[in-house]
Amino acid sequence: MRFIHVSDLHLGRTLRERPLRDEQAAMLAAVAEAARDPSIAALVIAGDVYDRGVPPPDAVALLDGFLAGLRAARPDLAIIVVPGNHDSAARLSFGARFFEGAGVHIRTDAASCVVPVVVEREGERAAFWPLPFLTPGCLPPDFGEPRADARAGTAPGELDFGEAPLERLRSQEELCAAALSAIARRLEPGAANILVAHLFARGGLASESERAFVGAAEQVDAGLFDIFDYAALGHLHRPQAAGGKGRYSGAPLAYSFDESGQERGFLVVDVDSVDPAKVDFVPIRPKRALRRITGTWEEIMAAAARDESPDDFIEAVIEDPAPVLNPVERLRERLPNLLSVRQAAFESAVDAPGAAPIRIERADADGVLDDFSAFHKEVLGMEADADTLALMAGLVEEAEHAARQA
């Protein structure tokens, strides 16, 4: 069975307040062109379809046009979608039952992971098991294998008021283990069994542009995927393996300048129930690349004068030890999509020629955890330990998820 594995589209995303609609439209066109190949039986989108829970109208229109065009060109193509941590599952699920009849399977309910999307093509059979991004409380406590420590017993002499309630599944690993144990009992014999999930596999390499979690609190053991013939994963923006069976396709576009120069695209996967999956990376040439130009002011200006792709999105890092006045206006005469200028004179830790620039981090979502750590130390006189930080990270994620669903 041959299928396309893509993830982390982040439709509606901007870069330094610059809309990326044209770039994302070109990216979707490249995926659609590959999906027109009649040998492709399915298209898998492993989460983060949109960049935020309430996507802008033009992002919704992009996805609508993409899906409509695919259905017109390939009515036999199965399309399988799960939400990621950036999506609102409730909003993404609008019309899902209707679309199912047209071969567009948008699976947003975590408990429905035990119902596969079965695709049959020319004697081949594959079962795709859709697992949305998991949040605390999205699965009942007794989902999957019974947990030996789930119920508390009574000691001699204590009153027995009946069974204690099951503890809620909270961590990503608990939730994922419960879901996969439930799926394991239902795997399709003789078919290729493929997991479609949005999660952070332990040991994976994160990028600047994805939402990272604190420590290992939200990471999942990649060994859990070994029961499948292939695990089509989303969340991490770098293409990479996750254990023996899992693969991240990576985001099909670069979404931060720290990712400039990294090749992006999607995967074409051939899988059956016997042999290891064969995976081919298909690069996407972006409409405008993200590039970083580094050097002295004279070197940067000289490079800009002979730049063969001046419309690219560009960040300039000026290494002169003394500040350069008005660099943005002067560079934009040659590079109209210059989005960022950094100067070593302002970022360097030491005032010395050739000092490497040090990135000054901006306040972001992690600021909540920084504030909590400072508050904990101020009130209790000690640093918060890893377990406390992990618990707080879980609460922050729950609050963000509730806000996205609102």
Domain ranges of the chain: 2-283, 290-347, 367-405
Structure-token match 């994963």, residue found? 233
* DSSP for residue 44: E
Task: Give the C-alpha separation, 370 to 283, whole Å.
Answer: 38
Sequence-distant (≥ 6) Cβ neighbours of residue 257 within 8 angstroms: 290, 292, 315, 340
Alpha helices in 39-125 (DSSP H): 57-73, 89-92, 96-100
Task: Give the C-alpha separation, 82 to 89, whole Å.
Answer: 8
Task: Give the C-alpha separation, 138 to 257, whole Å.
Answer: 35
Which pLDDT tens digits describe the chain residue by residue (406 residues)? 999 999 999 999 999 889 999 999 999 999 999 999 999 999 999 999 999 999 999 999 999 999 999 999 999 999 999 999 999 999 999 999 999 999 999 999 999 999 999 999 988 999 999 999 998 888 888 887 655 444 444 444 444 445 545 566 678 888 999 999 999 999 999 999 999 999 999 988 887 777 655 444 578 999 999 999 999 999 999 999 999 999 999 999 999 998 888 899 999 999 998 999 999 999 999 999 999 999 999 999 999 999 999 999 999 999 999 999 999 999 999 999 999 999 999 886 444 555 554 443 434 446 677 778 878 776 677 788 877 887 887 788 777 666 655 5
DSSP collapsed to 3 states, 289-348: CEEEEEECHHHHHHHHHCCCCCCCEEEEEECCCCCCCCHHHHHHCCCCCEEEEEEHHHHC
Contact criterion met (CB below 8 Å) for 126 and 189? no
Task: Give the C-alpha separation, 71 to 100, whole Å.
Answer: 12
Q: What is the per-residue pLDDT for 383?
A: 83
The amino acid at residue 145 is: E
Q: What is the pTM of this model?
A: 0.80
Superfamily of domain 2-283: Metallo-dependent phosphatases (3.60.21.10)
How many CA atoms lie within 13 Å of 178's alpha carbon, on the beta-carbon side? 27
